Amino acid sequence: MTTNTAMKETDMTGHNMHDRVKAAEDIHINTYKHFDIILERGEGAYLYDVEGKEYLDFMCGYGVTSLGHCSPILQKAIRDQAEKLIICAASYMTEPRIKAAELLVNNCCQDAVFFCNSGTEAVEGALKFARKWAYKTKGPEANEIIYFENAFHGRSMGSASITQKRHTQPYYGPYLEGTKMAKFNDLESVKAVMSDKTAAVIFEPIQGEGGLFPGTKEFFEGLRELCNTYQVAMISDEIQTGMGRLGTVFAHSYFDYEPDIVTLAKGIGGGFPVGAVMAKKHIAQVIEPGDHGTTYGANPLACHVVHTVVSEIIKPEFLNHVKEMSDYLLTRLNEMKDRSNAIKDVRGHGLMIGIDTVYDIKKLMDALLENGLITSQVGKNTLRFIPPLTIGKKEADEALEKLEYVLKEGNL
């Protein structure tokens, strides 16, 4: 085999953004459809492309930039820690790691934490911890995992195996054995698949990627009871809903249930790649050195970021602000719905809001982008607003104005 690097012409400097995006796509594995802009910098709720155009970011890097883009608090945390220690093996404790773990455990019903690097990794860790606990307490047969229709838990093999999308991606099979799908908010469907063989049930408190559908209080209560009866680990995947997104530090506090395991990522790092699994003592105590791990997990840089970001999020005034902004946006969106035939539904909790319109979502998102508003899609045709948790009324009004303008007849 020969290599032909000399033949490749990849330098597109000087070309317009559209051509540069197209050329860049040729040297990427084709996993994302790209918008026609190249981003350069961010500040608060705003992003700027290389041509200087400003965009209000209501997508937030898929719900990540909880404190806004390039938050001075986050920048300082990264700078300060980068000057001291960036990485060491996970078999060494560091001050940032101890402080981050203490902060999380002291503000949650969970007793211990495992740090990793992303959401999907947190889910993998949760599944492994639950399976080992079930193996030890109920035996090797108890390895089944219940997940839900419409769920999204990630893209690595374990998390993909419990994600709805697996059903449209047969080419990645065989998926993980021992998974059973139930219907979200339907306890009877859970009862039909739960047994002594069940190790865990995993769910999102609000199904995010699936279309922004919340679980009900009764459902979570019933699920907790079923998990107690069958000795099943209840895993609350709070990767999108946790860390202040709903106006509470954790999503299970918002819905008032107590899981056995919680997965976290996205907002916990405010833009820095980090994830975490939290577990109750009965689960944590079956895990031994060598059972699980990751090279970059619990690195001091990520842990200092987690400590800094979570310290901001847990402030009562921070969480109150999220609630206020949520009420404001939901009220204004519902008013807009009342005067517009284009909006079919507005739903959401905290700063996680879905809007169904009569328009094709791709066209709508392109038009919003053209008008300087970055949004994202969930489900088949739902527009999602997941802005930074720090947005003010000014940014909310701007987003609403842009949406209303684009939804007016003839503007799309």
Binding mask 153-192 for ligand PLP (x = CB under 6 A): xx--------------------------------------
144 is a contact residue toward ligand PLP (CB under 6 A): no
Contact with ligand PLP (CB under 6 A) among 123, 268, 274, 403: 123
Site for ligand PLP in 203-232 (CB under 6 A): 204, 208-209
- Piece of 53-61, 138-146, 148-156, 254-262 that binds ligand PLP (CB under 6 A): 148-156
Q: How far is the CB of 113 from ligand PLP (least distance, A)?
A: 17
CA distance 293 to 290: 7
- Piece of 137-145, 146-154, 307-315, 345-353 that binds ligand PLP (CB under 6 A): 146-154
265 is a contact residue toward ligand PLP (CB under 6 A): yes
Site for ligand PLP in 318-357 (CB under 6 A): none
Cis-peptide, bond into residue 316, ω within 30° of zero: no
Contact with ligand PLP (CB under 6 A) among 120, 161, 357, 382: 120
Q: How far is the CB of 233 from ligand PLP (least distance, A)?
A: 16
Binding mask 237-256 for ligand PLP (x = CB under 6 A): x-xx----------------
Contact with ligand PLP (CB under 6 A) among 65, 81, 110, 118: 118
- Measured from the CB atom, the residue of 94 and 163 that comes closer to ligand PLP is 163
As given in the structure block, the two tokens for residue 13 are: 């400097």
- Piece of 69-77, 150-158, 303-311, 391-399 that binds ligand PLP (CB under 6 A): 150-158
- Measured from the CB atom, the residue of 118 and 326 that comes closer to ligand PLP is 118
Contacting residues toward ligand PLP, per CB under 6 A: 62, 118-120, 123, 152-154, 204, 208-209, 237, 239-240, 265
